[in-house]
Structure 1
Amino acid sequence: MTNITRRGALFTGFSLMGASAASCARESAVVPVAFAHGVASGDPGTDKMIIWTRITPSDNTGFEGTIPVKWEIATDAEFRKIRRKGKTSTSAARDFTVKVDAAGLKPGQTYFYRFKVGKTISPVGRTKTLPVGALEQARFAVVSCTNFPFGYFNVYDHIAKQDGFDAVIHLGDYFYEYGTDSYGGKTGQKLGRNHAPTHETVTLSDYRTRHAQYKADTASQAMHAAHPLIAIWDDHETANDSWKSGAQNHNAGEGSWEMRRGAAMQAYYEYMPVRDPVPGKTREALFRDFSFGDLLSLHTLETRLTARTQPLSYEQYVDTLTSQEAVDDFVQNTLWDRGREMLGAGQKDWLAKTLKASKDAGTGWRLIANQVLLGPVLSPDLRDYAGSAAIERIAQFRPSIRKLIEFSPLGLPLSLDSWDGYPAAREGFYALAKKQGVQDLLVLTGDTHVSRVNSLTSVSGENMGVEFGVTGTTSPGHDAYFKDMSQDYEKRLMAKNKGTHWMQSAERGYLDLHLTKTEAHANFISVSTTHTQEYTTFTAKSYTITKDDDRLKLRS
């Protein structure tokens, strides 16, 4: 167990930055500026990298001009060995964000980067390009579900202090859209971490303000400066439980969904170090792949805005689910409707091609970055929970829970927003992978705010891989509702779902994933608290994966 505070930790290793920056700055700024949101890098290639920052003009509310910006990439933190540099500009049209797709870099190389506006120099960031050829190992920090009012980003702070990560993989819910009167609001008021704007994000200005707030957090800045990011969005970057043409947390009084979704995506591409879509590719199509030499390929899915059919809701069916026969009819004729889509034709075509290329190249591991839980989770028998404080807490936002627990033993999925709500699409995903000769999927999943390990099996009983579910960075799991009943609830879930080997909701943290030629080592790292900036870390659980005849074997 390591005792950690933030004092003196930010941008560790870059202590010479100030002196070197001052000595090389000679130009006058068009307008006084600050770099109040740090720097970031992401979407690494073998010869390129996205680098990002935001300029804050001194007159942040009224400046309408264009700001010229210089950028530099070096192989040393003192910038004596500058390898690439260039000029760009920004303005209010993109909320003064700066994003450069820097090319001409070397594979597997650590670089340092910074930006300049006149004599003002940004913090220094460190990043790393993708390797080529033989690679012995790779290591990733895997995170999800970061909610500002629920606490301090101690998980980010800890990741920033680790030197061995090749990238941070963010599985979505990078921020939350809610206002201060909603999810997390009470905790935020206690901690002095209220969302900005205070209302729910709906417009482009709202989404920009929310992104800027999260980027202004010091722990967030430290993590982004220390490691490149590979990010996918989930629902909260737009609105809760979103799908192609709507969201649970969007109503007619909030205007057009198309306009809201467009505003959310524009702000995301402005504020995140992800590569903008190539001509002919829609903004929704954030799916892409990354090759780390011959060791692994990483395939990032987009299961929200590209093709997802509207999620089913038990609220619609609860009054009809009165017997085992009624449940069976719902499962067979509604849940298993083959028209219920998650990926779409274009994404499935891309996934088939990239999985086949990975397999044909003899790549050792195939990782899937995935938003929502892939493995099945059926409800256990909860009838004796009726009337409990836990059920009444859940009933405040899901009144149907009182009726649902009456038939909880009948084999219904716990969540219809996960792949459990799209079982035919899940089987289609497995069939696609199997057709490419791939049955060794290592799936990384966020969304549930619960650490978990699942074996993945098709309905025909074929082993398809292993899923590591990542808890929230700050967002609480089901322990917030079940409290002292949480461990009992988890035992019941695992007893009902034999493919779930372990789960834990009580702690916030991240997954430290280390892959070698022969093994994958997964350490679930927890932080002791997110309610103060002083915390400790510990390993909650560890697993090792080996391969046997192109299948994954799991051991703890």
Structure 2
Amino acid sequence: MSLSGENRSFTTSRRGVLVGGAALGAAAVATGLPLAATAQGAGRRRSGDPFTLGVASGEPDQNSVVLWTRLATDPLAEDGLGGMSGTVEVEWEIALDERFTRIVRRGTERTGADAGYAVHAEVAGLKPGWEYFYRFRTGTHVSPAGRTRTAPPPGVLGSGLAMSFASCSQYEHGYFTAYRHLAADEPDLVLHLGDYIYEYKADSYVSPDGNVRDHRGPETETLANYRQRHAQYRTDPDLQAAHAVAPWLVVPDDHEVDNNWAGDVYEKPEIPQPNFIERRANAFRAYYENMPLRRSQLPQGSHIRLYRTVRWGSLANFHMLDTRQYRDDQACGDGWKVCEDAENPARTLTGPEQEAWLAEQFRRSRARWDVLGQQVFFARRVNGSGAVSMDSWDGYQGSQERVTRSWLDAGVRNPVVLTGDVHTHWANELKADYADPDSPVVGTELVTTSITSGGNGADSDPADDPNLALNPHIKFRNNQRGYVRTRITRDELRADFRVLDRVTEPGSPVRTRASFVVADRRPGLTEVTPR
């Protein structure tokens, strides 16, 4: 059962357990052991069931992983507490097999209103590079089962890592079918790069195709608001399937708090919002409660430490960045501008401490691939008037250049930037000097489209796409919804840009619109036949 890529054959029953809708709970079967003894009928969600928000895991290292659930018998309760009261004991167990006949760890956690009835179990003492199954119990109720895994040990390259990444799931704009397809791909690891929820009240952000379902509650500002909104998203069975199939690494972008916020500055500073710092604290607390994060990431008031490196043996380092909390305000009033201040080297997107931390991670890296999991467009991107986005790295060109220089100075073997935010698929070659067409390619950026945000979108013809003509280092763009599926090996990183024709109706099929390969020690993109 090694998880370094050697164990990739999964049974039909496993697929049914992990992506089979109501069957998500079917793995909880009686085995005669204490927790399992109450699991008969666990595939049926009974009245008063507190496991309506599913299960998740995350932050894997070679010996441990975080297991998550959140209790809610009434997920959309306006007080954000999901119909729960008092203090609740929740048992968890983790096993080597999906039938839970070989249980290796179990424990009990307490949760209550102060934690939003969330459970975070940090399970240690696990084998490196191994597949596990887990579930929870309270009273007579047993949760759906999830699959997780630990990272390989240092020094191990293994035969490969299946990693998918996603971003931007506006609940009102469509159905989360892309999450269901991501789960069906059975990745080893999932990265979510922000805009996991959206803060707007119903119908204040309408897609070009119209909204197909509504947010519950007002625009999120209070802790109860954010808890309710996270719970609404978590009730979606397709999202639950994606969480249950593999461990996740997560970073927020702006909509988990407020659109285009920057540091201590909210979206529209011309409209007084004296409670913004309190609002940010509420958002961070709810984000922590609803994500499989470690106790070390527990927010302190309006601050949460989310930048970190997660190592996958010697194959890959995942440097997860925070591009909101420490940035200067957007230059020139935000938007797309020709703006001299965007070139000011003193301006920062990451803040000096995070930037120095990242440079040190690059210097210490011995990984085959160094992957930046982050939120906003990294490559230079100009429009027909020569303007660039003030909300992206282009609006902070000093940061953009310093981070690029830091991986070059450190001799990083294969730098790859992963990006969300823009609701469109892109594949970009990163340049040492974007003003010089002959400047060498020094890295690669893969940008995922949205899960739903923006509605159905439409396919794009590269021959007629002005973005590619104006920016020759951009090799691909597509405006359909979906996600990116990758396979990382010692020799190459392959990226499949997965798309759906429609998200305004459930159940749209998925296909690979384009595929690219990044070869070891050869930054840049080679298009290959999709599969």
TM bucket, shorter chain: 0.7 to 0.9
TM-score scaled to structure 2, two decimals? 0.86
Contact 1:525 1:537 in 2 (8 A): yes
Cα distance in 2 for residues equivalent to 1:280 and 1:12: 35
- Closer/same/farther in 2, CA of residues 166 and 344 from structure 1, 3 Å limit: same
Query: Higher helix fraction: Structure 1 or Structure 2?
Result: 1
Cα distance in 1 for residues equivalent to 2:441 and 2:486: 21
**Partner of residue 214 from structure 2, selected from 180, 194, 198:** 194
Structure 2 match to 1:149: 172
Structure 2 match to 1:398: none
Structure 2 match to 1:394: none
Following superposition, the deviation at residue 45 of structure 1 comes to: 1.1
Following superposition, the deviation at residue 8 of structure 1 comes to: 8.2
Following superposition, the deviation at residue 130 of structure 1 comes to: 0.7
**Partner of residue 467 from structure 1, selected from 413, 420, 445:** 445
Structure 2 match to 1:384: none
Contact 1:298 1:366 in 2 (8 A): yes
**Partner of residue 500 from structure 1, selected from 458, 462, 474:** 474
The 5 A counterparts of 1:77-476 are 77-132=98-153, 133-163=156-186, 165-184=187-206, 189=211, 191=212, 193-197=213-217, 199-248=218-267, 252=271, 254-277=273-296, 283-305=303-325, 307-313=326-332, 330-331=339-340, 334-358=341-365, 361=366, 363-380=367-384, 408=385, 411-413=386-388, 415-438=389-412, 440-459=414-433, 461-476=439-454
Following superposition, the deviation at residue 147 of structure 1 comes to: 0.7
Cα distance in 1 for residues equivalent to 2:430 and 2:484: 19
Of structures 1 and 2, the larger Rg is shown by: 1
Cα distance in 1 for residues equivalent to 2:463 and 2:268: 28
Instruction: Name the aligned partner's letter for residue 412 of structure 2.
Output: V
Following superposition, the deviation at residue 371 of structure 1 comes to: 0.5
Q: Which deviates the most, 232-241 or 487-496?
A: 487-496
Instruction: Name the aligned partner's letter for residue 205 of structure 1.
Output: A
Contact 2:230 2:290 in 1 (8 A): yes
Is 1:48 matched with 2:64? yes
Contact 2:207 2:453 in 1 (8 A): no
Deviations 1:45-85 (A, max 9, x none): 11111111111257967754101111111111121111111
Contact 2:347 2:396 in 1 (8 A): yes
Following superposition, the deviation at residue 13 of structure 1 comes to: 8.3
RMSD: 3.0
Instruction: Name the aligned partner's letter for residue 42 of structure 1.
Output: G
The sequence identity of aligned pairs, in percent, is 33
Following superposition, the deviation at residue 430 of structure 1 comes to: 1.2
Aligned length: 493
In structure 1, runs of 5+ residues without a counterpart are 319-326, 381-407
Following superposition, the deviation at residue 14 of structure 1 comes to: 6.6
Deviations 1:120-179 (A, max 9, x none): 11111110111122312111111111110111101111111223x111111111111111
Structure 1 match to 2:519: 546
Instruction: Name the aligned partner's letter for residue 350 of structure 2.
Output: L
Q: Which deviates the most, 344-353 or 104-113?
A: 344-353
The list of structure 1 runs, each at least 4 consecutive aligned residues, that deviate by more than 6 angstroms after superposition, is: 4-8, 11-14, 58-62, 279-282, 315-318
Instruction: Name the aligned partner's letter for residue 394 of structure 2.
Output: D
Following superposition, the deviation at residue 279 of structure 1 comes to: 8.8
Structure 2 match to 1:69: 90
- Closer/same/farther in 2, CA of residues 316 and 346 from structure 1, 3 Å limit: closer
Cα distance in 1 for residues equivalent to 2:284 and 2:87: 23
Following superposition, the deviation at residue 278 of structure 1 comes to: 5.7
Cα distance in 2 for residues equivalent to 1:45 and 1:6: 25
Contact 2:71 2:84 in 1 (8 A): no
Contact 2:55 2:146 in 1 (8 A): yes
DSSP 3-state at the match of 1:17: coil
Cα distance in 1 for residues equivalent to 2:335 and 2:177: 40
Contact 1:544 1:554 in 2 (8 A): yes
Following superposition, the deviation at residue 541 of structure 1 comes to: 0.3
Structure 2 match to 1:555: 526
- Closer/same/farther in 2, CA of residues 156 and 62 from structure 1, 3 Å limit: closer
Contact 1:201 1:207 in 2 (8 A): yes
Instruction: Name the aligned partner's letter for residue 525 of structure 2.
Output: L
Instruction: Name the aligned partner's letter for residue 239 of structure 1.
Output: D
- Closer/same/farther in 2, CA of residues 117 and 371 from structure 1, 3 Å limit: same
Contact 1:269 1:276 in 2 (8 A): no
Q: Which deviates the most, 527-536 or 242-251?
A: 242-251
Is 1:17 matched with 2:28? yes
Q: Which deviates the most, 346-355 or 263-272?
A: 346-355
TM-score scaled to structure 1, two decimals? 0.82
Cα distance in 2 for residues equivalent to 1:315 and 1:92: 38
- Closer/same/farther in 2, CA of residues 216 and 136 from structure 1, 3 Å limit: same
- Closer/same/farther in 2, CA of residues 71 and 524 from structure 1, 3 Å limit: same
- Closer/same/farther in 2, CA of residues 61 and 146 from structure 1, 3 Å limit: closer
Following superposition, the deviation at residue 188 of structure 1 comes to: 6.5
DSSP 3-state at the match of 1:533: coil
Following superposition, the deviation at residue 352 of structure 1 comes to: 1.9
Cα distance in 1 for residues equivalent to 2:224 and 2:462: 44
Q: Which deviates the most, 93-102 or 11-20?
A: 11-20
In structure 2, runs of 5+ residues without a counterpart are 1-14, 40-46
Contact 1:41 1:229 in 2 (8 A): yes
Instruction: Name the aligned partner's letter for residue 119 of structure 1.
Output: T
Following superposition, the deviation at residue 16 of structure 1 comes to: 4.0
DSSP 3-state at the match of 2:295: coil
Cα distance in 1 for residues equivalent to 2:18 and 2:101: 29
Instruction: Name the aligned partner's letter for residue 526 of structure 1.
Output: V
